[in-house]
C-alpha cells in the first residue's frame, strides 16, 4: 500500500495549452520520486475549502518535479489555473492504485479530455522501459488537441484533425498481432471508456480504465467517489471507493 502524505508544493511552471487548459509543474521530490502512472494528487484550490484531484501527467525524478493538466470547469480549477509561478499550496499524494504493466510487452494507451494527462505519464514510463506503445486519443475538434506527439493516432468529432470520429475509429485502424499479449489502458469520459471496454472485450484483450469520479478527501473517508463493480453477492454488484480501491480497475469488472 502506498503511503499517503500531505506536502507543501511549489509551482515552478504554468503553460497555457489552449483557452481553458493549462499544464502546471510543481516541485515536490517526495511525490516525483514515488508516483506511478494512473495515480493522482489532491491539490488545494486557492480559497476553496476542498482540494481538487488531478491525474499525474509527468514526473522528473532528477529535478524533483511533477506535472498535472488543469481544465477549467468551475471556480476551483479557475483559481488553480491562475496560480503564479512561485505559489505554494498543500497537496496530498500520490494517491490511489496505478496501472499494472506487468506481464505485457505491447500497450495501447487511449485517452480523451483530461484523460490525456495520465496517459502521457504512462507513455513516458513505458517508452523509457523500451516497451511497444501505441497511443490513440480523441478530441472534440482541432482546438482541443493537446500533448500530441509524433506517431499518435488522433481522432476528432469534427473531423478537422486526424481521423473523423471517436477513439473507436482510431482503434479500428490498428493492426494488433497478438491481442492476448496486448494491454489497453484507458482514461477519459465514461461513455468513451465503456465503448473501449466493449471493443477490447470483442478483441479478446484486457483493458484497464482509470475512473475520473468526483472526489473530496482522496483518502477513502468521504465516500463520494463510489464506483459500482461486479460481485457474486445477491445484488450482483458492490460499491468501492475510486480513490482507495481505484482509480484503476479492470474494465470488465466495472458497471458503467
CA nearest neighbour of 205 among 186, 185, 183 = 183
pLDDT band at 194 (very low <50, low <70, confident <90, very high): very high
Cell numbers describing residue 83: 496560480
89-132 tens-digit pLDDT: 999 999 999 999 999 989 999 999 999 999 999 999 999 999 99
Q: Which residue has the cell 499524494?
A: 93
Instruction: Give pLDDT, residue 4.
Output: 55
CB 206 within 8 A of CB 184: yes
Q: What is the pLDDT of residues 133-179, one digit of tens each?
A: 999 999 999 999 999 999 999 999 999 999 999 999 999 999 998 99
Q: How far apart are CA 143 and CA 247, in angstroms?
A: 28
Number of C-alpha atoms within 13 angstroms, CB side, residue 46? 12
- Does the model's pTM come out above 0.85? yes
Whether the pLDDT of residue 47 is over 80: the answer is: no
**Residue in this structure with the C-alpha cell 496486448, named with its chain if needed:** 182
Pair type for strands 153-156 and 163-164 = parallel
Say if residues 41 and 95 touch (Cβ distance below 8 Å).
yes
Strand partners, 41: 54
Amino acid at each position: 500500500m502506498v503511503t499517503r502524505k500531505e506536502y507543501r508544493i511549489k509551482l515552478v511552471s504554468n503553460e497555457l495549452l489552449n483557452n481553458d487548459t493549462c499544464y502546471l509543474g510543481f516541485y515536490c521530490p517526495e511525490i516525483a520520486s514515488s508516483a506511478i502512472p494512473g495515480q493522482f494528487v489532491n491539490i488545494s484550490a486557492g480559497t476553496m475549502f476542498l482540494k481538487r484531484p488531478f491525474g499525474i501527467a509527468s514526473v522528473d525524478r532528477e529535478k524533483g518535479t511533477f506535472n498535472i493538466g488543469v481544465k477549467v470547469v468551475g471556480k476551483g480549477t479557475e483559481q488553480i489555473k491562475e496560480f503564479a509561478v512561485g505559489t505554494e499550496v498543500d497537496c496530498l499524494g500520490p494517491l490511489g492504485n496505478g496501472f499494472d504493466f506487468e506481464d505485457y510487452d505491447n500497450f495501447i494507451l487511449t485517452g480523451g479530455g483530461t484523460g490525456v494527462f495520465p496517459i502521457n505519464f504512462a507513455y513516458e514510463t513505458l517508452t523509457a522501459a523500451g516497451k511497444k506503445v501505441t497511443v490513440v486519443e480523441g478530441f472534440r475538434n482541432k482546438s482541443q488537441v493537446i500533448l500530441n506527439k509524433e506517431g499518435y493516432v488522433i481522432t476528432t468529432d469534427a473531423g478537422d484533425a486526424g481521423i473523423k470520429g471517436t477513439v473507436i475509429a482510431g482503434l479500428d485502424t490498428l493492426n494488433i498481432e497478438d491481442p492476448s499479449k496486448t494491454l489497453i489502458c484507458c482514461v477519459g469520459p465514461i461513455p468513451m471508456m465503456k465503448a473501449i471496454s466493449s471493443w477490447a472485450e470483442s478483441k479478446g484483450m484486457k483493458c484497464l480504465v482509470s475512473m475520473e469520479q468526483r472526489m473530496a478527501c482522496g483518502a477513502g473517508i468521504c465516500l463520494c467517489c463510489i464506483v459500482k463493480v461486479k460481485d457474486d453477492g445477491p445484488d450482483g454488484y458492490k460499491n468501492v471507493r475510486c480513490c482507495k480501491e481505484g482509480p484503476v480497475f479492470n474494465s470488465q469488472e466495472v458497471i458503467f
